[in-house]
Amino acid sequence: MNVLEIDGLTVRLEGSVGARPVLSDVSLHVAGGEVVGLVGESGSGKSVTCRTALGAVPRGASVDGAVRTVGEDVFGLPARELRRLRSEKVGFVPQDPRAAVNPLYRVGDYVIEALRAAGVPKAEAPDRATALLESVGIPEPRRALRRWPHEFSGGMLQRVVIAAALAGSPRLLVADEPTTALDVTIQAEVLSLLLDITAERGAGLLLVTHDLELAAAVCDRAYVMYAGRIVESEPAASLFASPKHPYTAGLLRATPSLTGPVERLTAVPGRPLGLDEVLPGCSFAPRCAHARPVCDDGPPPLLEDGAGAVACVRAGELAPELRRRAHEEQAV
Amino acid sequence: MARFIIRRLGGLGVTLLLTSFLVFGAMHVAPGDPASFLLKGRSPTPEAVAAVRAQFHLDDPLFVQYGRWIGSALTGDFGRSVQFRQEVGGLLAARLPTTVALVAYAALIMVLGGLVLGFLSAMRPGPVDRVILLGTTVAVATPSFVAAIALISLFAVGLGWFPTFGGGEGVLGTLRHLTLPAIALGLSLVGLLARVTRASAVEELRRDHVETARLRGLPESIVLRRHVARNALVPVVTVTGTVVSGLIVATAIVETAFGLPGIGSMLVQSVVTRDFPVVQAICLLVVLAFVLANLLVDLLLPVLDPRTRQYAP
């Protein structure tokens, strides 16, 4: 059963009539127990997308399309029900724990607040909080409740945030670049914790990241976003081995490989599309080495292709070359 | 914590000693001479001037005068008022309650009004915010003497709801007599505090942890109370501390305008008549209030913000 279904979602910011929407016709789904990556550069719309799973859209934005989270139509829910959905059925893990935790309250308060919002009685909350902190690997959890956020390292604090996200036994976890703000040495630890607890609970995980290699390594499937659109969706393994969209291929070549030899990285040329820039055809065309006049004939539709889908009119003819170059890179 | 308070109290002593010398020195650099005031209206004989100067020790070197003054000030004796021919300590003690009540009343108006208007303004963008902004702009721009005149002519002379003059008897009488002066004193500061509160709350509303709190499904009342209001209070408390001690100085104008027998109006009279002992004692009192208010803020901030605790020695 799908714990998240986003269907034809278009989000337009207030006062941006005529300009490009932040999200255009985005569709994705996450099944229970599945780990799904959402990959893209800054400004591609991935954070906006993952927040719509919690029924949150930028202030004053207009929304088309539907988002069903754990069976609920989030945009049709009254405020009270939406709050229940957020506190009981979905867990949210933000990017920077230092910014996401109010520094004026104790670590325990952060977790207990979440438990209370999920309907746990006041008397039980401290014990439940201790158990949650223990389950995410906080040493001396009982004492940790009384400590302050500034006494914790970023990694430890992100564990606290994850513990609080579990307060309501969520069916879906939404993690917005959960390791980007952490030291490289502890990124892997926090990520594997997130994956373990998701698997243990059979919950779905929507993992937002700008790291394609990471997404390919830990996700079951991944979506690649560019300029507010999903340009490719694939099972993670084939995304890495045989990218079908030139943008995905470009991202792969721009990522340093841990296993391969050191070689010169190729940046994706040009810059991401601004929100005020509207193109008649493919948004990636100005940066694409394979662009032809046909690319400007309207936005390319996301078409099914094997196990995945790709939004590129030349995907068929380019596939052999992109696959060859991906392999070349690994073989060198 | 105890060590921190003791160190701050030690600092308080040093501050008072330094300012006492400044105050004492400044009075003697200022033009005018108590002796000439005392003998005003007469053409004094040199002998008479000399007698008065000897009585108030005005011919001794500055340091000797200061030493004598600070020595007896430490024992609670601030000398005799030149003007009233009474002990300064007794004069001040009689007038202090009025001023303390006035400052407390004005501070209450300022804090309640400032916080309520500031938070309302921050949390209700649109017409409410704009009306409050306009009102507080006018309030900030209104000096207390203008407010005093306007309030007297409207509520005391025009409508007759409040008395125009004097301190009043008993708790209710005092309250009635002090209402207009307290409003005059606190009005511009209500505006100031509302502005500070609004800016602080608006900034907190934009913080990541507030967005996260909402995405975590916390009730809006908890988000606003625990994560916006509480955090926004930290700068507000700092400002309130300095502003409240500044109120004591501002009583000089308001007490004079409303004819209240407090130390503010006394300061004005004493300056006019070169009544040095009284001016010196009141100045020290004001410095004491400033330092105590700052100490209070310093003690309160670590309670509000745990991050400042590790820096408190």
Mean pLDDT over B65-80 rounds to 80
Q: Is B313 a residue whose pLDDT tops 70?
A: no
Give the Cβ contact number of residue A273 at 10 Å. Answer: 21
Q: Give pLDDT tens digits for A7-18.
A: 999 998 877 556
The rounded distance, in Å, linking the Cα atoms of B204 and B227 is 8
Judge whether B274 lies within some domain.
yes
Nearest chain A residue (CA) to B211: A100
Number of domains in chain B: 2
Q: Which of residues 83-112 of A touch B (CB under 8 A)?
A: 83-88, 90, 92, 94, 96, 99-105
Residue type present at position A210: H
Describe the strand order of the beta sheet including A62-69 as a list of residue ranges: A23-31, A2-12, A62-69, A72-73
Nearest beta carbon to residue A83 from set B207, B217, B227: B217
Q: Is B236 found in the same domain as B287?
A: yes
Coil, helix or strand for A184? helix
Partners of A118 on chain B (C-beta within 8 Å) are 217
Q: Which fold has domain A2-98+171-183+203-331?
A: Rossmann fold (3.40.50)
What distance in Å separates the CA atoms of residue A216 and residue A36, rounded to the nearest whole number?
10
Residue B35 shares a structural domain with residue B180: no
- Residue B158 domain flag: yes
* pLDDT given at position B253: 86
Q: What span, in angstroms and rounded, lies between the C-alpha atoms of A157 and A190?
A: 10
Q: Residue B75: is its pLDDT beyond 70?
A: yes
ipTM of the complex: 0.87
Residue B89 resides in a domain = no
| A78 touches B at CB < 8 Å | no
A49-53: average pLDDT: 92
Residues B134 and B167 in one domain: yes
Query: Cβ of A326 under 8 Å from any chain B Cβ?
Result: no
Q: Where are the domains of chain A?
A: 2-98+171-183+203-331
Provide the shortest C-alpha distance from residue A152 to chain B (in Å).
12
Measured CA to CA, the distance from residue B115 to residue A2 in angstroms comes to 47
Same domain, B59 and B118: no
Contacts of B208 in chain A (CB under 8 A): 94, 96, 99-100
pLDDT one-digit tens code per residue, B255-312? 888 888 888 888 888 888 777 788 888 888 888 888 888 888 888 888 888 887 754 4
CB pairs under 8 A between A and B: 71
Q: What is the pLDDT of residue A142?
A: 92
Q: Is B216 on the interface with A (CB under 8 A)?
A: yes
Residues B137, B221 share a domain: yes
In a domain, B8, yes or no: no
In this complex, which of B222, B307, B310 lies closest to A103 when CB atoms are compared?
B307
**Contact at CB, B306 and A88, closer than 8 angstroms:** no
Residues B57, B139, single domain; the answer is no
- CATH number of the domain bearing residue B171: 1.10.3720.10
pLDDT, tens digit (0-9, with 9 covering 90-100), for A310-323: 888 888 888 888 87
Is residue A325 predicted with pLDDT exceeding 80? no
Rounded to a whole number of angstroms, the distance from the CA of B199 to the nearest CA of chain A is 18
Q: Where are the alpha helices (DSSP H) in B42-124?
A: 46-55, 62-74, 88-123
- Three-state SS for A180? coil
pLDDT tens figures, B81-120 = 777 778 888 888 888 888 888 899 999 999 999 999 999 9
B176 and B298: one domain? yes
Is residue A161 within 8 Å of residue A114, measured between CB atoms?
A: no
Residues 229-268 of B with CB under 8 A from A: 230-231, 234
Residue-number span of the structural domain to which B68 is assigned: 15-74
Whether residues B152 and B37 share a domain: the answer is no
Highest mean pLDDT among A46-60, A234-248, B237-251: A46-60
Q: How confident is the model at residue A59 (pLDDT cuts 50, 70, 90)?
A: confident
